Amino acid sequence: MMAPQPLLLDLDASSKTLIDSKNDHARGMVGAAGGWELELPVIARAKAIEELLSSPSAPCIDMRSSLATALSAVEQYESEIEDLERRLRDTSHALATKARREESLRQVLAAKEKELAALKEMEHHWKSQHPILSALLQDTTLLTTQLNEANAIVTRQRDALRSAKIALAEKDARVSQLERCWGNDDKNIITIRERKLGQELDERTSRLRRLSVSSRRSSSRLSMYDVHRDLTEHRWIPDASAPQCMHNGCGRRFGVWIWRHHCRRCYRIFCGRHTGVLPLSVVDGSLDRELGAETKRKKTPLSSFFKLIMK
């Protein structure tokens, strides 16, 4: 910016010299024409001065050409200066923009460094927590397996419960059907039993009638002496001679809980395990004796005979 000052000074000096030379030339011309200056009109003087000024000398022409060249150089230099200033302003603006960008980038870099530090801390924390995470993953896998097994068990139990409900419903239907059938069968059974009992009652009634007739006939023939003789003819074994059951292979000894049972056929003594439930029919023996049939059956005691007759 300080370089063009000598050129400007030279230009100013040349312009001043040119102006001074024109003024001196004009004054000389005016001095020469001083006699008729008052005679000419003002317009003529002006034209004369203009003609004098419009027809310069050779030094003036050279000075003008050098001045135009200097002015063009000055204009070119000013344009270059303006261009440089504009470029300087653009460069300053670019530098400011670059500085702002660098500041923003510096801030972004600081944020990224903070994030990187946080990530490193997180990585260190993750590495420290990796065994725990591995154990949790194993526990999760185990729990998932157990949950799947439990779900399978629950599914099987639900299926079994559903099947059991279906089977129970079928059984309930079957029970209802059996109850209905049982009601009908019970009625039929009761009817059959009534018929059978009626037939048995009729048979027993007719048999009792026959027995009553036979007993009246036999009682008329029998006497107390015959009964006593029959009783005395029985050969009952004394209790003292039979301390235990006389059945082959039994050998149970009689006592408070094991009683003696006398057989009415062989007159021996047995325990309750080897004794028949139904006694010998006295009336049948009486009928056999009345008809003269030979039998190996022995007579019953008199009390049992009277009990049967009194029934």
Place of tokens 């003024």: 23
- CA distances in angstroms from 300 to 72, 220, 228, 291, listed in the order given: 181, 19, 12, 18
Confidence (pLDDT) at 256: 84
Low-confidence ranges of the chain (pLDDT < 70): 1-64, 183-186, 213-235, 276-311
Which runs of consecutive H residues, i.e. helices, occur in the chain? 5-32, 42-54, 58-221, 224-233, 282-291, 302-310
Answer for the pair 66, 10: CB distance below 8 angstroms, yes or no.
no
What pLDDT shows up at residue 267? 78
pLDDT at 153: 92
Whole-number Å distance between alpha carbons of 254 and 266: 19
For tokens 């670059």, what's the residue?
98
Angle at 294 (CA atoms; ends 291, 298), nearest 5 degrees: 100
Q: What is the pLDDT of residue 202?
A: 80
At 269 the three-state DSSP class reads strand
